[in-house]
Structure 1
């Protein structure tokens, strides 16, 4: 009887330990993947990028960059283009507009793009925007900045201390205008 009782106690203890081990284990697959990878270090680096975006078989954009760092392992994921970017955007009639900057960051969670350093946008119809920093909200398709800009149209060069526009430049507005503008009577 004593031997059976000891055997039952050992079985109960074994079951308790096993159950405790199973309940103490969590699904930490993402944490296991991050072992050895600091959130301050990129999870990937790409060089000499030539990325083409298509829609229904038609090229809508072509992104060129010397170097990109992928921080998608961060709590606030982003991609950093330290080698600058050149972006060609094609409309439905295949007319090309160009975006150039020395540096760019694309934030994944907010769909915000931060362009910095010698930012120049040249539209297919000849408008040119120059500034040192420009934000692009991908969800709203909206461009904006609050730093000095020079906006050149066919008739004028408009300088100001800010800029707001949709992505097609159909309602572009230079803020705090400091240049000379010609007006139609």
Structure 2
């Protein structure tokens, strides 16, 4: 009988030990998040001035009055809630400027999503207006599928979409809906 009781006690102790062993896990990331809400930014920055360089040459410069840092998310991003100005420089150091009321920059994909009253003024005074524009920093490509108005020296071209490289040497309005020829 004594052997049977010892056997039961040993089994119970083993079950409790195994249960405790498997119930323990690494909660370091959860401990780091204590006091930080999932929906709140990890930081707020004022007067942002980010410069993107390639081989020591500035290729883009992003300016904003206020940015929110959501790098604590699974898919990290920065939100520019008070508007953004993006200067893009071509290989000849000509500056084109993009202005938007709002933008999000995704750090993992190097994509900037600019929204609301987006206006591009190229170095040769062509002007594009749209409600949303994406800038792919890796491919150095600008695009949208929203309605656009693109003013050149000769025409105003309306359409549904726009594609261009960073230098605007092959800017193209997609699905053209109308062309207005400007008179001198």
What is the TM-score when the length of structure 2 is the normalising length? 0.79
Whole-angstrom CA distance in 2 between matches of 1:94 and 1:171: 17
Q: Report the CA distance between 1:45 and its aligned residue.
A: 0.7
- Structure with the bigger percentage of strand: 2
Residue of structure 2 equivalent to 1:84? 83
CA gap of 1:141–1:89, structure 2 versus 1, over 3 A, is: closer
Query: For residues 93-104 of structure 1, what are the structure 2 equivalents within 5 Å?
Result: 93-104=92-103
Query: For residues 130-145 of structure 1, what are the structure 2 equivalents within 5 Å?
Result: 130-145=129-144
**Number of aligned residues:** 175
Query: For residues 1-185 of structure 1, what are the structure 2 equivalents within 5 Å?
Result: 17=17, 24-175=23-174, 176-181=176-181
CA gap of 1:113–1:159, structure 2 versus 1, over 3 A, is: same
Q: Is the 8 A contact 2:88 2:166 kept in 1?
A: no
What is the TM-score when the length of structure 1 is the normalising length? 0.78
Q: Secondary structure at the match of 2:30?
A: helix
CA gap of 1:59–1:136, structure 2 versus 1, over 3 A, is: closer
Whole-angstrom CA distance in 2 between matches of 1:76 and 1:38: 15
- Provide structure 2 residue ranges, at least 5 long, that are not aligned to the other structure: 1-5
- Provide structure 1 residue ranges, at least 5 long, that are not aligned to the other structure: 1-5
Q: Is the 8 A contact 2:89 2:167 kept in 1?
A: no
Q: Is the 8 A contact 1:39 1:71 kept in 2?
A: no
Q: Secondary structure at the match of 1:180?
A: strand
Whole-angstrom CA distance in 1 between matches of 2:134 and 2:94: 23
